[in-house]
Amino acid sequence: MENTLLSFKEQLAMLKQQMFDNIPKEVANIFEKHEKELAESEIINHALKVGDKMPSFVLPNALGKLVKIEDLLVKKWLVISFYRGQWCPFCQLELRNLQKNLQKIEGTPATLVAISPQSPDNSLSTVQKNALTFEVLSDKDSKVGKKFNVVYTVPDYLHQVFQKNGVDGQYINSEGKMQLPTPSIFVVDNQGIIRMRSIETNFTQRVDPLEVVKFMQEN
């Protein structure tokens, strides 16, 4: 259980230390290898940029109800968080911190939504486990994530590690490849234009929700 007196980045650092203290060295090396490869892939440069128009999409929420993204553009801002899934402890920590700062986010004013390729049932489990009160949408086959260009194919050597640790097969596409979004935050204005983005190739790193709030308050 995280120490809520610590900053978000301190909580992330503590979680990373705990994880790497409890996994075999060869697995740690695999994570580090993949992080380097993902950074070199230039996925950050290929992702949608500030000034780009957000693509239109409709996705089911945790209860299976279809949500049209344009219907969420009712405030000055829309904050979109792409996360990997409930199996990722860093994603869950991020979601809890977004929830912790939800009142500040909504007060800018903004609407918050989180998106992952997991099923609505798993999204519902995520909502319940982390006591989330914002929309959590399911992006089957990462179709929306691909529109934002934040999705990558997991290499076989890392896929094997995930399989051994019980990561759900719902992330496997028709070609038998696992695909995941990089942890990403997009801030979109009510005209659908991207005004801020944060894309992490290191899954242990995330932008602090307070930095997102600060940007929206100043713009």
Active-site residue list:
91
For residues 73 and 40, what is the distance between their CA atoms, to the nearest angstrom? Answer: 34
Enumerate residues 6+ apart whose C-beta is below 8 A from 166: 87
Could you tell me the sign of the dihedral formed by the alpha carbons of 119, 122, 128, 132, in that order? negative
Element (H, E) at 143: helix 143-147
Q: Which of 115, 181, 121, 174 has its CA nearest to residue 149?
A: 181
For residues 22 and 82, what is the distance between their CA atoms, to the nearest angstrom? Answer: 27
